[in-house]
């Protein structure tokens, strides 16, 4: 799994969780956000997000 982190402010978009703050439902891939989508915390452009590996929590 992967998450996307805003390089400007550190906001994390986790596709498994979605982002209620910006109206994104759970299971929406980051790539499906429109090009005009911006970080809900700081307003940085979509291209300012970097893909990271999601750390799995031990059961």
Instruction: Characterize 6-25 residue by residue with b for buried, 16 or more Cβ atoms within 10 angstroms of its Cβ, and e for exposed.
Output: beeeebebebeeebeeeebe
Is 58 among the domain residues?
no
Is 13 among the domain residues?
yes
Report DSSP state, residue 46: G
Residue with tokens 């893909």: 51
pLDDT in tens, 35-54: 999 999 999 999 999 999 98
Which pLDDT does position 42 carry in this prediction?
96
Higher pLDDT, 55 or 2: 2
Which pLDDT does position 49 carry in this prediction?
97
pLDDT in tens, 4-47: 999 999 999 999 998 887 788 899 899 999 999 999 999 999 99
Is 41 among the domain residues?
yes
Residue 48 structural domain: 2-53
Residue 16's closest CA among 59, 57, 46?
57
pTM of the model: 0.83
We report the CATH number of the domain holding residue 45 as: 2.20.28.10
Q: Number of structural domains, the chain?
A: 1
């Amino acid at each position: 799994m992967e998450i996307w982190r805003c390089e400007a402010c550190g906001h994390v978009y986790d596709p498994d969780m979605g982002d209620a703050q910006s109206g994104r439902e759970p299971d929406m891939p980051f790539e499906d956000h429109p090009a005009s989508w911006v970080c809900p915390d700081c307003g940085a452009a979509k291209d300012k997000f970097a893909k990271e590996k999601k750390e799995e929590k031990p059961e």
